[in-house]
Amino acid sequence: MNLEKKIEFIAKQLFEKGDTEIVDTVFDSKYIAHDGDKVYKGQEFVIQFITKLRSAIPDIKIQKIEFLSVADNVLTWQRTFNGTHKKDIQGIPASGEKLKWNEIVVTRFEEDKIVEDWVISNLALQLMIKQTKRK
Q: Tens of pLDDT along 122-132?
A: 998 888 887 77
Query: What is the spatial distance between Cα 72 and Cα 82, in angstroms, rounded to a whole number?
Result: 30
**Cβ contacts of 98 within 8 Å, gap of 6 or more:** 82, 83, 84, 85
What are the residue boundaries of the structural domains of the chain, listed by start? Answer: 3-134
CA dist 120 to 79, 87, 90, 112, Å? 10, 22, 16, 23
User: pLDDT per residue over 104-119, tens digit each?
Assistant: 999 999 999 999 999 9
Confidence of residue 134 (pLDDT cuts 50, 70, 90): low
Q: Does the reported pTM lie above 0.85?
A: yes
Q: How far is CA 48 from the centre of its chain?
A: 12
User: pLDDT per residue over 36-65, tens digit each?
Assistant: 999 999 999 999 999 999 999 999 999 999
Confidence of residue 90 (pLDDT cuts 50, 70, 90): confident
Options 3.10.450.50, 3.50.50.60, 3.40.50.300, 3.30.420.480; CATH for 3-134 is 3.10.450.50
Q: What is the mean pLDDT of the chain?
A: 94
Query: What is the spatial distance between Cα 31 and Cα 56, in angstroms, rounded to a whole number?
Result: 24
